[in-house]
C-alpha cells in the first residue's frame, strides 16, 4: 500500500470514529457532516494557489454555498491532501451549513509547493492564508478554523499568530506545542508516534544518533502556545479524549486561555473530554458507548454563534463537559457518566501517597529512609502496554506482563475501603539518583481491579537532564540525589472500593518512548549504550510520593454545580 493510501486509511478511520460519536438524535447534523458525493458547479468549487510571504504557493480548494454571498468562512489546513475524505475536509459539508469552506494543503504536501517541515512554518502560513481569505469578495470578514488531529494543531498555531479576521476555532484531539506534546514528551522522543507519522507522510527518519535530543530553543518556544496565551484573542472549543495522545495539551490550553487569553479568548473557552483515544481503545475494559460521544453537534452551534451572531445559548453553557470514568465491570459502581462544571479541575484536595519499602504505597510517610534500585538496559527495554498512543495499542491495558521484570518498581495501596474520585492532574514527586550522566524515569498510574487486572490510567516519561526546565539541561553527578517531578497527566476517574492504586517506576517504555542510551552526548546507534543503575529514595520529609487530586463523589446522574 502506498504512503498516500496509508494516510487515507488512517484519516478515514478517525473521521468515521468522530462522526459515529454524534448523538443519534442529531440526525440532521449527521447527514450534513457525512455529506454525499455531488457535482458542484465550477463557479462554486474552484482551486487557487495562495502565495505565502516567502513566495511559496499553497494549493487551496474553495467551495461556496448556494445563493448570494459574501459568507463567513471555515478554513481547514491539512497535510493529508485537501481532496481526501479526512480531518475536516470532504466529510463535513460546511457549505450546507451556510459557510464558504476553504481547505488547503500545507507546504510540501498535496498540491502545495515548498519543503515539508512538519509544523515549522505553520504560524506564518496560517496567518498569510487567513489574510488572503479576508480580502476575497466571497468572504464577509469573519473566519473560523476547524480541525481534527494535525488540522487542529494547525488551527492552534494559526491562532497564536493573531490574524485579524480569525474569529474562533473548533479543535479536536490536537496539541498546541510540538516539542512538549508531539515530539519530546517530558523531553523524551516519542519514537513510535513520530517514526510512523513521518513515514506515512513519505518522510522517514534517516538519522542514527541516539538518544534523539530535542532542543527547547527560541524556535520551539515560539511554537508553544503556553508561552503565547496573551497572543491568542479568540474563543476555542477543544474536544479531547482521556486516552488521546494530545489530551494534556488540550486541557492545558483550555486552562491557560480561559485565564490568560486576550480579548474574547479569556473566559470564552470550551472543553469536552470523553473516554476515547485518537483511535479505538484496546484491552479488556470497555467504557459505556456514551463515553465516546462528545456531542459534536456543538460544531455548528459554535460557528453559528461566533461567525453568524446567532443567540443559541452555547456561550452560556458550562465551560467544561467531561466523562467521569469508573469501574467497567461492576455496573452499579459510581462514575461512568457525563458531568459539567465551570471550574476545572473541580474543587477538591490533594492527597499524598508515599512510596515505602516492600512496594508499599500509603498515606503515612515512612520514617526510615531507604532506597530501591534497578538496572535499566536500553537493549532490553520495558515494552509499551497501552496508554495515550497514536498508532500503538492504546487505552487501559493490563500491566501484569511487567510483573516479573526487575527494572519495574511497583508500589501498591491496600484495597480501597471507599470509592475515590480522582479528577485533575496527577504528579509523581520522586527523589532519584543514577550512576549515568543522564537517564529517563517513567511513571505509570494504575487502577488494579479485584480480579488482578492492572488497568493503565496514565503514564509519562521525564528525562533527568531537563529536571530544571527544558531550556536548562543539566548533567547528573553519579550518586547525587535529585528531586524530579513527573507530570503524569490529567484524568477523571472514580476508583471503586475494593480496587487498589498503584504507581510503577521504570526507565524505559518502548516503543512509545525511545530508550535512552544513558549517555550525555549522542552516540551512533546503541552499540555503545550504557546500562544505568537508577535509584529511587524513600522515606523522610523529602521522600518520593504520589500526589492525587481527590474530589468528593456526588450522587450518580447529578451534574456538578457551577460553583465547583
Percentage above 70 pLDDT, the chain: 90
Is pLDDT of 180 > 60? yes
Mean pLDDT score across all residues of the chain: 91
Over residues 301-321, mean pLDDT? 97
pLDDT at 26 over 90: no
Same CATH topology for 1-37+44-172 and 349-551?
no
Please name the helix (run of DSSP H) or strand (run of DSSP E) that holds residue 156, with its range, or none: helix 150-160
Helix, strand, coil percent content, the chain, rounded in steps of 5 = 20, 30, 45
* Architecture category of domain 1-37+44-172 in CATH: 3-Layer(aba) Sandwich (3.40)
Q: What is the arithmetic mean of pLDDT over 136-146?
A: 98
pLDDT digits (tens, 9 = 90+) for 491-550: 999 999 999 999 999 999 999 999 999 999 999 999 999 999 999 999 988 899 999 999
Instruction: Report strand pairing: 320-324 vs 270-277.
Output: parallel
pLDDT at 492: 98
**Are 175 and 196 in contact, with CB atoms under 8 Å apart?**
no
Looking up cell 501517597, which residue turns up?
353
pLDDT digits (tens, 9 = 90+) for 76-119: 999 998 886 333 344 578 999 999 999 999 999 999 999 998 88
Mean pLDDT along residues 128-145:
98
Is 327 within 8 Å of 496 (Cβ atoms)? yes
For domain 349-551, which CATH number applies: 3.40.50.2300, 2.60.120.260, 3.40.630.30, 1.10.150.20? 2.60.120.260
**pLDDT confidence of residue 559:** 45
Q: Quick one: pLDDT band at residue 554, thresholds 50, 70, 90?
A: confident
Phi, psi of 557 (to 5 degrees): 75, 5
pLDDT of residue 38: 60
pTM for the predicted model, two decimal places: 0.92
Greatest pairwise CA separation for the chain in angstroms: 78
Partners of 545 in the β-ladder:
354, 429
Backbone phi and psi for residue 206, each to the nearest 5 degrees, phi listed first = -120, -5
Region 344-356 average pLDDT: 97
Every domain of the chain and the residues it spans? 1-37+44-172, 349-551
Amino acid at each position: 500500500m502506498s504512503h498516500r493510501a496509508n494516510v487515507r486509511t488512517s484519516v478515514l478511520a478517525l473521521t468515521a470514529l468522530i462522526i459515529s460519536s454524534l448523538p443519534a438524535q442529531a440526525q440532521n447534523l449527521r447527514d450534513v457532516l457525512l455529506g454525499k458525493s455531488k457535482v458542484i458547479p465550477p463557479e462554486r468549487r474552484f482551486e487557487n494557489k495562495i502565495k505565502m510571504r516567502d513566495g511559496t504557493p499553497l494549493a487551496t480548494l474553495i467551495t461556496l454555498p448556494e445563493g448570494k454571498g459574501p459568507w463567513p468562512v471555515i478554513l481547514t489546513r491539512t497535510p493529508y491532501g485537501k481532496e481526501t475524505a479526512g480531518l475536516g475536509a470532504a466529510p463535513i459539508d460546511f457549505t450546507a451549513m451556510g459557510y464558504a469552506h476553504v481547505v488547503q494543503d500545507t507546504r510540501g504536501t498535496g498540491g502545495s509547493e515548498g519543503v515539508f517541515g512538519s509544523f515549522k512554518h505553520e504560524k506564518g502560513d496560517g496567518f498569510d492564508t487567513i489574510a488572503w481569505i479576508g480580502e476575497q469578495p466571497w468572504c464577509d470578514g469573519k473566519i473560523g478554523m476547524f480541525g481534527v488531529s494535525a488540522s487542529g494543531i494547525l488551527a492552534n498555531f494559526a491562532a497564536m499568530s493573531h490574524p485579524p479576521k480569525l474569529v474562533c476555532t473548533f479543535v479536536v484531539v490536537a496539541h498546541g506545542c510540538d516539542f512538549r506534546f508531539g515530539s519530546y514528551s517530558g523531553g523524551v522522543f516519542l519514537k513510535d508516534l513520530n517514526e510512523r507519522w513521518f513515514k506515512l507522510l513519505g518522510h522517514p527518519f534517516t538519522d542514527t544518533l541516539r538518544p534523539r535530543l530535542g532542543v527547547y530553543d527560541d524556535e520551539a518556544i515560539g511554537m508553544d502556545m503556553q508561552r503565547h496565551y496573551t497572543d491568542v484573542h479568540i474563543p476555542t472549543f477543544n474536544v479531547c479524549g482521556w486516552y488521546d495522545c494530545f489530551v494534556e495539551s488540550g486541557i492545558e490550553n483550555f486552562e491557560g486561555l480561559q485565564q490568560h487569553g486576550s480579548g474574547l479568548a479569556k473566559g470564552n473557552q470550551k472543553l469536552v473530554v470523553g473516554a476515547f483515544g485518537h483511535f479505538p481503545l484496546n484491552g479488556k475494559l470497555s467504557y459505556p458507548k456514551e463515553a465516546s460521544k462528545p456531542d459534536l453537534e456543538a460544531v455548528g452551534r459554535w460557528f453559528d454563534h461566533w461567525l453568524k451572531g446567532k443567540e443559541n445559548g452555547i456561550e452560556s453553557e458550562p465551560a467544561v463537559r467531561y466523562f467521569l470514568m469508573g469501574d467497567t465491570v461492576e455496573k452499579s459502581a459510581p462514575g461512568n457518566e457525563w458531568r459539567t462544571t465551570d471550574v476545572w479541575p473541580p474543587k477538591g484536595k490533594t492527597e499524598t501517597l508515599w512510596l515505602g519499602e516492600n512496594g508499599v504505597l500509603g498515606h503515612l510517610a515512612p520514617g526510615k529512609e531507604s532506597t530501591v534500585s534497578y538496572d535499566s538496559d536500553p537493549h532490553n527495554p520495558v515494552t509499551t502496554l497501552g496508554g495515550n498512543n497514536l498508532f500503538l495499542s492504546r487505552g487501559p491495558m493490563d500491566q501484569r506482563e511487567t510483573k516479573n521484570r526487575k527494572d519495574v518498581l511497583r508500589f501498591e495501596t491496600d484495597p480501597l475501603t471507599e470509592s475515590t474520585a480522582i479528577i485533575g492532574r496527577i504528579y509523581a514527586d520522586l527523589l532519584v539518583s543514577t550512576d549515568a550522566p543522564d537517564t529517563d524515569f517513567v511513571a505509570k498510574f494504575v487502577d488494579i481491579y479485584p480480579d488482578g487486572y492492572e488497568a493503565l490510567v496514565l503514564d509519562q516519561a521525564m528525562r533527568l537532564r531537563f529536571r530544571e526546565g527544558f531550556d536548562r539541561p543539566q548533567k547528573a553527578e553519579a550518586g547525587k540525589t535529585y528531586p524530579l517531578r513527573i507530570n503524569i497527566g490529567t484524568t477523571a476517574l472514580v476508583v471503586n472500593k475494593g480496587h487498589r492504586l498503584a504507581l510503577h517506576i521504570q526507565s524505559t517504555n518502548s516503543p512509545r518512548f525511545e530508550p535512552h542510551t544513558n549517555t550525555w552526548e549522542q552516540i551512533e546507534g546503541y552499540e555503545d549504550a550504557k546500562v544505568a543503575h537508577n535509584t529511587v529514595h524513600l522515606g523522610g520529609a523529602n521522600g518520593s510520593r504520589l500526589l492525587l487530586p481527590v474530589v468528593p463523589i456526588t450522587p450518580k446522574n447529578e451534574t456538578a454545580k457551577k460553583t465547583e
